[in-house]
Amino acid sequence: MSLARLAGGSRLARLLAGGELHRQPERKNSACLHSTMPPCDFVPEKYESYPYEDMLKIRRQYVSPSLVPYYKKPLLLHQGHMQWLFDHEGRRYLDLFSGIATVGVGHCHPKVTAAAQKQLGRLWHTASVYMHPAFQEYAKKLTSLLPDQLKVIYLTNSGSEANDLAMILARLYTSNFDIIGFRGGYHGNSPYTMGMTAIGNYKHGLHNGFGCQTTMLPDVFNGPWGGSQCRDSPVQTIRKCSCSSGSCHAKDCYIEQFKDTLATCVPKKIAGFIAEPIQGVNGAVQYPVGFLKEAFELVRERGGVCIADEVQTGFGRTGSHFWGFEGHGVVPDIVTMAKAIGNGFPMAAVITTAEIAGSLAQGVPFNTFGGNPVACVVGSAVLDAIEEDGLQKNCKVVGTHLLQKLAKLRDEFEIVGDVRGKGLMIGVQMVKDKESRQPLPAEEISEIFEDCKDMGVLFGKGGIYFQTIRIKPPMCITREDADFAVDVFHAALTRHKERRAATK
The answer to whether 254 touches 291, Cβ cutoff 8 Å, is yes
The answer to whether 315 touches 351, Cβ cutoff 8 Å, is no
Q: Are residues 215 and 351 in the same domain?
A: yes
Structural domain span for residue 177: 151-197+210-388
The strand order across the sheet containing 179-182 reads 152-156, 348-352, 334-337, 305-309, 272-275, 179-182, 212-215
pLDDT of residue 32: 62
Task: Note the pTM of the prediction, 2 decimals.
Answer: 0.93
Q: Are residues 349 and 424 in the same domain?
A: no
Q: Please give the Cα distance from 258 to 180 (Å, whole number).
A: 10
141 occurs within a structural domain:
no
Q: Please give the Cα distance from 192 to 40 (Å, whole number).
A: 44
Q: Please give the Cα distance from 402 to 466 (Å, whole number).
A: 21
Q: Are residues 295 and 342 in the same domain?
A: yes
> What's the structural domain count of the chain?
2
pLDDT of residue 30: 43
The CATH number of the domain holding residue 243 is 3.40.640.10
The CATH number of the domain holding residue 418 is 3.90.1150.10
495's enclosing H/E stretch is helix 479-503
pLDDT of residue 33: 66
Q: Are residues 168 and 87 in the same domain?
A: no
Q: Please give the Cα distance from 241 to 244 (Å, whole number).
A: 9
Q: Are residues 57 and 156 in the same domain?
A: no
pLDDT of residue 10: 43
The pLDDT averaged over each successive group of 10 residues in the chain (504 residues) is 35 41 41 79 96 96 92 96 98 96 97 98 91 95 98 96 97 98 96 93 86 97 95 95 86 98 97 98 97 98 98 98 98 98 97 96 84 97 98 98 98 98 98 96 96 97 96 98 98 95 85
Domain boundary among 335, 359, 388: 388
Q: Please give the Cα distance from 323 to 314 (Å, whole number).
A: 5
pLDDT of residue 27: 34
Coil, strand, or helix at residue 434?
coil
What residues contact residue 400 under an 8 Å CB cut-off, 6+ apart? 234, 319, 423
Q: Which residues are bridge partners to 461 per DSSP?
A: 469
Q: How far is CA 122 from CA 116, 117, 119, 373, in A?
A: 10, 9, 5, 9
Q: Are residues 289 and 247 in the same domain?
A: yes
pLDDT of residue 440: 97
Q: Are residues 416 and 498 in the same domain?
A: yes
Q: Are residues 354 and 396 in the same domain?
A: no
